[in-house]
Amino acid sequence: MLKIKRVPTVVSNFQKDEADDGARSGGGCGRNCLQKCCIQGAKLPLYAFKRVNEVVGEKGVLALDNEEAPVAFLDSLLLGEWEDRVQRGLFRYDVTACETKVIPGEYGFIAQLNEGRHLKKRPTEFRVDKVLQPFDESKFNFTKVGQEEVLFQFEASDDNEVQFFPNAPVDVENSPSVVAINVSPIEYGHVLLIPRILECLPQRIDRESFLLALHMAAEAGNPYFRLGYNSLGAFATINHLHFQAYYLAVPFPIEKAPTRKITTLNGGVKISDLLNYPVRGLVFEGGNSLEDLSNAISDSSICLQGNNIPYNVLISDSGKRIFLLPQCYAEKQALGEVSPDLLDTQVNPAVWEISGHMVLKRKEDYQEASEGNAWRLLAEVSLSEERFEEVKALIFEAISCADDRSGSTAENLLEEPDENPQSHEVTNDALNKGSHRGMVPGKQECLVQH
């Protein structure tokens, strides 16, 4: 069994000492948490989102009908509630005081000096060889956060209209999804989306949870508000299903990297290779509906989980463009294959770092930040070209099988590249790279079982 000493980031004010505080008898645990001792009768704000009006444009990109929304989601609600928690003193440090700069160079990597994320942490043993691990209620999980750390419940509206209820009862039986602060923020507005929080789901993507994350991105409607996901083994530090999100008003380097189309699925979802970037990955975009796009990434993620391959996901462009990034840095760490100077930085390359937002913990690393240093770190994260081709074959086999199970025809699973690709896309056909192994319609049995 591979083990590595991990120093997890504290995401809740109750994470640091939860192991020492047991629930008290009577009157709850004294922390006004989300567990049974305190949740009965609790009320929290509720944002009920309208399911997006899914329209396919000329390029297969979803158009969202957000006209005359009664609540300005990102600016008025999320950031307003987040700023309220700042005023209450719930954060461990002032993230606005952290130095940030764009590193000179072609890619525009962003460096942030965030020494606050390096302080007051407790070491823990963290397994890196198992992407899927059972939920352990004895470990810290998000039911143990204080109710004051929750900004609002986030659910689909019953009448398909955007609504906000400032004091809504918590429906314990139906396990609400909630948005909570990350008390060790990377950027202003850094929050956690926790699907069906009371079900205590382990950190693994399923179709329902990923669709919820895409709805949050679409509802925000701002290209500078991104959501990210880290699997176990890819620097998720808490085994309780959650996505992270924050607002950063500059493009991520990964968003500017060129792509090369591989295929278009039956549901209109285009899949491309990420090119000229230190981490190999896949880009998903378009689709006849938000659910088509969500299912393609969900099925790919489920495949990676089932094959014990750590990965990260970046939800970009208001949910229209998603990056899927298998990685192996933690495995290399455990095997002693990462150079000591990279280890000394104590940078854990999770979704934000891989996307080009380098969160640095030491002043000397910030002062010496360069495009070359960023590239060198991220190159250690990436799968080799040969291994990446093998992983793509597994993913496409899983997607093909999912199409078969849904009753879709598979004849049009592979298509020619676009004649007029978008500006970020390279016009070469990627099919000759061998990345479509396992995608021959009707000729092979499913190799990956969900």
Segment 181-205, tens digit of pLDDT: 999 999 999 999 999 999 999 999 9
Residue 6 has pLDDT above 60, yes or no: no
Q: What distances in angstroms separate CA 9 from CA 183, 345, 347, 354, one per listed residue? A: 9, 15, 11, 17
Residue 60 has pLDDT above 80, yes or no: no
- Rounded-to-integer distance, Cα 34 and Cα 57, Å: 42
What pLDDT does 416 receive? 40
What pLDDT does 189 receive? 94
Reported residue count of the chain is 450
What pLDDT does 448 receive? 35
Six-digit token string for 97: 């005081």
Segment 218-230, tens digit of pLDDT: 998 889 999 999 9
Q: State the pTM of this model.
A: 0.85
- Rounded-to-integer distance, Cα 185 and Cα 94, Å: 9
Residue 124 has pLDDT above 50, yes or no: no
Q: What is the mean pLDDT of residues 356-382?
A: 96
The percentage of the chain sitting over the pLDDT mark of 90, rounded to a whole number, equals: 67
Phi (first) and psi of residue 112, to 5 degrees: -130, 135
Residue 432 has pLDDT above 90, yes or no: no
What pLDDT does 296 receive? 97
Residue 309 has pLDDT above 70, yes or no: yes
Residue 21 has pLDDT above 50, yes or no: no
> From the CB of residue 395, how many other CB atoms can be counted at a distance below 10 Å?
27
Question: Residue 117: pLDDT band by 50, 70, 90 thresholds?
Answer: low
Indicate the average pLDDT of the chain: 83
The CATH number given to 44-433 is 3.30.428.70
- Our CA angle for 34, 244, 181, nearest 5°, is 45
Q: What is the mean pLDDT of residues 420-436?
A: 38
Report which DSSP code applies to 146.
Answer: B
Question: How much of the chain is helix, strand and coil, in % rounded to 5?
Answer: 30, 20, 50
Catalytic residue among 215, 240, 242, 357: 242
What pLDDT does 88 receive? 96
What pLDDT does 119 receive? 53
- Rounded-to-integer distance, Cα 237 and Cα 268, Å: 35
Question: Residue 324: pLDDT band by 50, 70, 90 thresholds?
Answer: very high
Segment 397-414, tens digit of pLDDT: 999 887 666 654 333 444
Known active-site residue 118:
no
Q: What is the mean pLDDT of residues 349-372?
A: 96
